[in-house]
Structure 1
Amino acid sequence: MKPGPTTEAGQRSISVSEVVVASPQQIFELLATPARHAELDGSGMLKGRPQGPEVLGPGDRFTMGMSQGGIPYRSVNVVVEYQQDRLIAWETWGELGGRRLVGGQRWRYELEPDGTATRVTHTYDWSRARFPRLIVELPGYPKKMRTAMAATLSQLGAVTGRL
């Protein structure tokens, strides 16, 4: 596992990369299927029960059961970047009555063929987040997410190894 760039002053994203022994198509299929997200999650926050399309496409909206500090909630996610078998990213929001209250963070996966494997780069980007200092930085999420993202990539490797 090779960590990506470190978070520097003013930079509001972190990335981790890993080479996974699977094709970009196999990995993309998992990432584009919300029902599989909880089994890939390295943070322990995703609880499943997605609502929305079974397979994601550009602009699709889906929700996911979540839990943080023992408090259950649903995240609202919109696919904001999409290139079949190469790139998928969604932006996540907390909504109440259809109004976006918090969120704006992006979860991005870039897939690069690497021989018989794929280099997966997972990025957490909170540069567009509403209240980034309060909601993301003060609670220490950048440090927590780096570890969780590395665990997600390891889990992705384990799941694709069983395909």
Structure 2
Amino acid sequence: MAPRYIEDSILVEAPASVIFDIVADPRQHSRIDGSDTVRGGITGPDRLTRGAEFGVDMRMFGVRYRIRNWVVEYEPDRVIAWRHFGGHRWRYTLIPRGAATTVTETFDYTRSNVLSRVVISVLGMRRRNRRSIPATLQRLKHAAEADVAAQAG
């Protein structure tokens, strides 16, 4: 049986605090979204913390919908994860490497309910996430490195 998570990592030439500022701000999620599903319409706090709730307008397969998420893991500048009603989690783990940071993005559905796992399978989410996670990480890298350059100059 295949593992119930998909993850990929990238080295970003930016401090963990700069990267965390991006992923902990739900209004920036469309800036880094490599799946092209995040549409905006963000509700919730400007800065996520453990237990925070936020909503996002989404679009997948031409269908628009709104999803509500809850932050379930939170360690400043290190780990943030959120989940929605299906139980699966999106997690970002940051590991400082001198002036750079290794960022790992994980789609973890080990805690997903049965219905959610069926939907993930039927919609081909494993395959889609295998493509979109590296794209998101590339966009996050570009955004964080641009933010560092803007702060320096």
Q: TM-score, normalised by structure 2?
A: 0.92
Q: Which of 52, 64, 68 is the equivalent residue of 1:72?
A: 64
Q: Which residue in the other structure is 2:51 paired with?
A: 59
One-letter identity of the residue aligned with 2:121 = E
| Larger strand fraction of residues | 1
Uncovered stretches (5+) of structure 1, i.e. residues with no partner: 1-8, 94-102
Q: CA deviation at 1:89?
A: 0.2
Number of equivalences? 146
Q: Is the 8 A contact 1:43 1:148 kept in 2?
A: yes
In structure 2, what is the Cα distance between the partners aligned to 1:129 and 1:78? 14
Query: With CA pairs under 8 Å and 6+ residues apart, which has the higher RCO, 1 or 2?
Result: 2
Q: CA deviation at 1:139?
A: 2.0
In structure 2, what is the Cα distance between the partners aligned to 1:133 and 1:49? 26
Q: Is the 8 A contact 1:126 1:136 kept in 2?
A: no
Q: Which residue in the other structure is 2:107 paired with?
A: 124
Q: Which of 76, 86, 96 is the equivalent residue of 2:78?
A: 86
* Residue 152 of structure 2 corresponds to residue 160 of structure 1: no
* Residue 133 of structure 2 corresponds to residue 149 of structure 1: yes
In structure 2, what is the Cα distance between the partners aligned to 1:113 and 1:147? 25
In structure 1, what is the Cα distance between the partners aligned to 2:62 and 2:122? 19
Q: Is the 8 A contact 2:92 2:105 kept in 1?
A: yes
Q: Is the 8 A contact 1:24 1:86 kept in 2?
A: yes
One-letter identity of the residue aligned with 2:129 = M
Q: Secondary structure at the match of 1:11?
A: coil
Q: CA deviation at 1:133?
A: 3.6
| Larger helix fraction of residues | 2
One-letter identity of the residue aligned with 1:140 = G
Counting aligned pairs with the same residue, the percent is 38
User: RMSD over aligned Cα, in angstroms?
Assistant: 1.0
Q: CA deviation at 1:10?
A: 4.7
Q: Is the 8 A contact 1:63 1:77 kept in 2?
A: yes
Q: Is the 8 A contact 2:49 2:71 kept in 1?
A: yes
Uncovered stretches (5+) of structure 2, i.e. residues with no partner: 148-153
**Segments of 4+ moved more than 6 angstroms:** none
In structure 2, what is the Cα distance between the partners aligned to 1:31 and 1:47? 16
In structure 2, what is the Cα distance between the partners aligned to 1:53 and 1:125? 24
Q: CA deviation at 1:147?
A: 1.0
